[in-house]
């Protein structure tokens, strides 16, 4: 019987619909100004793609920053639990998950059964997140997709010392005015994100295997720099943005199975 997971983030909303472990549809859209509208739109798109109606879904779990904005959800679960569950399903044996989303970042440690045993989260500042990258791309007048290529061209990186996104943007503008090479500035931005992520990883005690999720995982330069700084291989799933929604859908299947077991 079909179930769904929806992850409502600050920048994007994802829906995954499952039926007996098989993915029927996977949707990613921008959240925009209204998370409730985004949740309803993403779910409708997911239903249309899978040929189902909302009444067909036997259980729906919402997660993420805006999980309270999904009135159709039967349960709400934290993104920590959902990202851990989704990552472990995609790669059994994963012990650490690094998730860098639009407005926050988190490092999650799992046990050998895929259960969360510890985590650390940065949600008070946009530094080191997808939003940080967006602001820096705007300051540099380059596309986000171009930043990864530029960073990998640089041999050296300038130091971005500001911890605050606003001050870091001013620092980048000053570096441009000084005539510093664009690729070295971008590499410095990447290094800044990685430095903050590694500090979080050290606090939680990172263990191999490591998986990176969230939109920033699509930036190859960040992944490469992170691997080099950690001295560990970091795997990235096919669609890193939907791991939380996948985890929510998997938990929905488990909840449905438990409910059916109790009714027998």
**Chain segment 134-150, per-residue pLDDT in tens:** 888 888 888 877 888 88
Say what the pLDDT of residue 25 is. 97
pTM of the model: 0.89
* Percent share of the chain, pLDDT over 90: 61
Say what the pLDDT of residue 125 is. 63
Cis peptide before 209 (omega within 30 of 0): yes
165, 189 contact by CB (below 8 A): no
Q: Which of 109, 132, 104, 235 is nearest to 191 (CA)?
A: 132
Lowest mean pLDDT, pick from 7-11, 134-138, 205-209: 134-138
Residues whose CB is less than 8 angstroms from the CB of residue 167 and which lie 6 or more positions away in sequence, other chains included:
none
CA distance 38 to 62: 13
DSSP structure class, residue 38:
H
CATH topology of domain 95-236: Nucleotidyltransferase; domain 5 (3.30.420)
pLDDT band at 77 (very low <50, low <70, confident <90, very high): very high
Domain boundaries, the chain: 1-91+238-264, 95-236
The secondary element (H helix, E strand) that includes residue 246 is: helix 243-263
Reading the block at residue 96, the tokens are 């650490």
CA distance 18 to 15: 10
CA distance 116 to 112: 10
Say what the pLDDT of residue 3 is. 97
Q: How many helices (DSSP H) and strands (DSSP E) are in the chain?
A: 8, 10
pLDDT band at 104 (very low <50, low <70, confident <90, very high): confident
Domains 1-91+238-264 and 95-236 share a fold: yes
CATH class of the structural domain 1-91+238-264: alpha beta
Distance of CA 225 to the CA centre of its chain: 18
User: Looking at the chain, how many residues does it have?
Assistant: 264
């Amino acid at each position: 019987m079909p179930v769904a997971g929806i992850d409502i983030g600050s920048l994007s909303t994802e829906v995954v619909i499952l039926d007996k472990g098989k993915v029927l549809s996977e949707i990613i859209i921008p959240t925009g100004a209204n998370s409730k509208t985004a949740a309803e739109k993403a779910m409708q798109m997911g239903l249309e793609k899978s040929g189902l109606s909302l009444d067909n879904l036997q259980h729906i779990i919402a997660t993420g920053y805006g999980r309270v904005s999904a009135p159709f959800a039967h349960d709400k679960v934290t993104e920590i639990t959902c990202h851990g569950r989704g990552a472990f399903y995609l790669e059994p044996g994963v012990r650490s998950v690094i998730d860098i989303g639009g407005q926050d970042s988190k490092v999650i440690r799992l046990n050998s059964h895929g259960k969360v045993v510890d985590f650390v989260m940065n949600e008070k500042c946009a530094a080191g997140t997808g939003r940080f990258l967006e602001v820096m791309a705007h300051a540099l007048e380059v596309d986000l997709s171009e930043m990864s290529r530029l960073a990998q061209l640089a041999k050296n990186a300038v130091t971005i010392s500001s911890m605050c996104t606003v001050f870091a943007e001013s620092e980048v503008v000053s570096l441009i005015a000084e005539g510093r090479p664009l690729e070295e500035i971008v590499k410095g931005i990447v290094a800044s994100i990685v430095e903050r992520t590694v500090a979080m990883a050290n606090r939680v005690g990172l263990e191999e295997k490591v998986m990176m999720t969230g939109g920033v995982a699509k930036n190859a330069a960040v992944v490469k720099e992170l691997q080099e700084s950690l001295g560990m291989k970091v795997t990235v799933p096919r669609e890193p943005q939907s791991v939380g929604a996948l985890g929510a859908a998997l938990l929905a299947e488990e909840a449905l199975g438990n409910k059916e077991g109790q009714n027998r």
